[in-house]
């Protein structure tokens, strides 16, 4: 029993239920525990930028063939675009079939928009495609690291890694330093993860205390539809991709259960990125692929958010009796194909992106977003977990596509045949048990030998 209670995912789950209970029975004090979740997210974000920078630079610097970097990047973008488009389309189909907003007959002109003023203001700042491309280049790398701007960090890290690869042996001192630096930062992650149960408790207590279980019941149809759709996407779509990639989705979910329960409690897919990268490397996925694909997936492959976007947009139209033709809905889909790529892995980003999308279209009343406030935080768990699973499965699928995964190691780890202590020490930063050597990726004729 003691060993069972000592597992991280069990502690996080206890924290979630305890927080929900406190929020329900004592909502007047539940809000005081919100800082527990906020501090945890801030601690993770503290090490997020250094880990992304060091991992991407190391992965690229150790690549012996720069053509493979292009191959991995292009295939990752193709995969991301296909999956996110499918997620958007799935949400569009399901919300039309179920019609959760039909019959609500809400007059948008009478809705109080003060509660969403901050989101619509942030959404109004969303710029076009050219501005998005311009934003990729940081004014200063220090500024990009300070703001945790994922895309700008990826751009600089990629360029720096390529530069180190080109200068050859002279880059060894820098590479060795970054390698030691990475292990040190992952040790910090191990310390932070001990606080995950408290973070889950605080975040859930605040959520239930602030919005109440009644808000879930009021819009339960939308929320239930969202959860069912996310479940189907994971079970059917990602399950099919996992099978094609040669591994069991169920076994993989058991392998990353600690991360999934942490996401459930904190409602942020960004909160588990460092440890998720560590586990993927431990399972035999090439370090360069993990370092490149996982951070990029946060922005370019938000499967759960994509499902939410189309469902929320059409739900508002249904609830406010806004007529939408098939062409209008396809326009919604097309706009979201672009705006969804700006999503981050933190709570609230989906609401801002949705506000920007509705404001740019001018068809669906942005004021209708008020209807989502009561349950948005609860639906955030569904999309964050779906984002995390989609990103992790996608990383293995892309690694398998380019031949950069040790299939024997992957099978061994998912079957639980590796040393259990290896898994327990993943967050401790021990070199011998957690450092899976990067798989050598080189061009051999028309194939990649890993």
> pLDDT tens, 2-40?
666 767 767 887 888 888 888 888 888 888 888 888 888
Q: How far is CA 294 from the centre of its chain?
A: 9
pTM, 2 dp: 0.70
Phi, psi of 221 (to 5 degrees): -65, -45
- Which stretches of 219-302 are DSSP H helices? 220-232, 239-244, 249-255, 257-266, 273-282, 287-300
71: in domain: yes
Q: How many CB atoms lie within 10 A of CB 276?
A: 23
446: in domain: no
- Which stretches of 26-114 are DSSP H helices? 27-30, 34-61, 66-98
Phi, psi of 444 (to 5 degrees): -130, 100
Structural domains of the chain, count: 1
60: in domain: yes
DSSP β-bridge partners for residue 394:
none
Residues 261 and 248: their CA atoms lie apart, in Å, by 19
- Average pLDDT on 186-211 reads 80
CATH number at residue 89: 1.10.3860.10
Q: How many CB atoms lie within 10 A of CB 436?
A: 20
- Average pLDDT on 328-335 reads 82
**113 compared with 312, residue with greater pLDDT:** 312
- Average pLDDT on 128-140 reads 73
- Strand 442-444, strand 447-449: pairing: antiparallel
pLDDT tens digits, residue range 188-199? Answer: 877 887 888 888
447: in domain: no
pLDDT tens digits, residue range 365-381? Answer: 877 777 776 567 678 78
pLDDT value of position 43: 83
Show the domain range for 304.
2-439
Tokens of 266: 């904190």
pLDDT tens digits, residue range 251-274? Answer: 999 999 888 888 887 777 777 888
448: in domain: no
450: in domain: no
137-141, 317-321, 323-327, 386-390, range with greatest mean pLDDT: 386-390
394: in domain: yes
184: in domain: yes
The contacts of residue 419 (CB under 8 Å, 6+ apart) are 433
């Amino acid at each position: 029993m003691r060993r069972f209670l000592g597992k991280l995912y069990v502690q996080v789950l206890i924290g979630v239920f305890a927080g929900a209970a406190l929020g329900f029975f004592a909502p007047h004090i539940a809000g005081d525990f919100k800082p527990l979740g906020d501090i945890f997210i801030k601690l993770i974000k503290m090490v997020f930028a250094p880990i992304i920078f060091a991992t991407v630079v190391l992965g690229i610097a150790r690549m012996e063939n720069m053509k493979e970097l292009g191959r991995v990047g292009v295939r990752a973008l193709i995969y991301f675009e296909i999956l996110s488009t499918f997620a958007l389309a799935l949400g569009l189909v399901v919300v039309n079939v179920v019609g959760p907003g039909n019959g609500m007959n809400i007059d948008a002109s009478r809705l109080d928009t003060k509660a969403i003023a901050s989101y619509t203001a942030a959404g109004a700042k969303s710029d076009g495609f050219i501005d998005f491309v311009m934003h990729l280049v940081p004014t200063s790398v220090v500024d990009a690291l300070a703001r945790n701007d994922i895309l700008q960090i990826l751009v600089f890290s990629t360029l720096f890694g390529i530069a180190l690869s080109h200068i050859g042996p002279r880059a060894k001192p820098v590479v060795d330093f970054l390698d030691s630096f990475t292990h040190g930062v992952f040790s910090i992650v191990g310390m932070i993860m001990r606080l995950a149960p408290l973070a889950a408790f605080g975040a859930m207590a605040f959520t239930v205390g602030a919005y109440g279980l009644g808000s879930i019941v009021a819009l339960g149809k939308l929320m239930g539809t969202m959860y069912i759709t996310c479940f189907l996407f994971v079970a059917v779509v990602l399950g099919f991709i996992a099978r094609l990639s040669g591994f069991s989705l169920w076994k993989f979910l058991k392998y990353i259960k600690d991360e999934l329960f942490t996401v459930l409690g904190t409602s942020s897919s960004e909160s588990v990125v460092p440890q998720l990268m560590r586990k993927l490397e431990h399972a035999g996925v090439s370090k360069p692929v993990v370092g490149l694909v996982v951070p990029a997936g946060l922005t370019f492959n938000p499967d759960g958010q994509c499902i939410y976007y189309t469902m929320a947009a059409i739900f508002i139209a249904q609830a406010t009796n806004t007529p939408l033709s098939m062409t209008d809905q396809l326009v919604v889909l097309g706009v979201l194909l672009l705006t969804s790529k700006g999503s981050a892995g933190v709570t609230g980003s989906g609401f801002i992106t949705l506000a920007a999308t509705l404001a740019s279209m001018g068809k669906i009343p942005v004021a209708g977003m008020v209807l989502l406030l009561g349950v948005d935080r609860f639906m955030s768990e569904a999309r964050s977990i779906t984002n995390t699973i989609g990103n992790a499965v996608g990383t293995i699928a892309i690694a398998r596509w380019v031949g950069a995964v040790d299939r024997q190691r992957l099978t061994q780890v998912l079957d639980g045949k590796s040393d259990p202590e290896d898994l327990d020490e993943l967050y401790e930063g021990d070199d011998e048990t957690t450092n899976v050597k990067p798989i050598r990726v080189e061009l051999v004729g028309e194939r990649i030998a890993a």
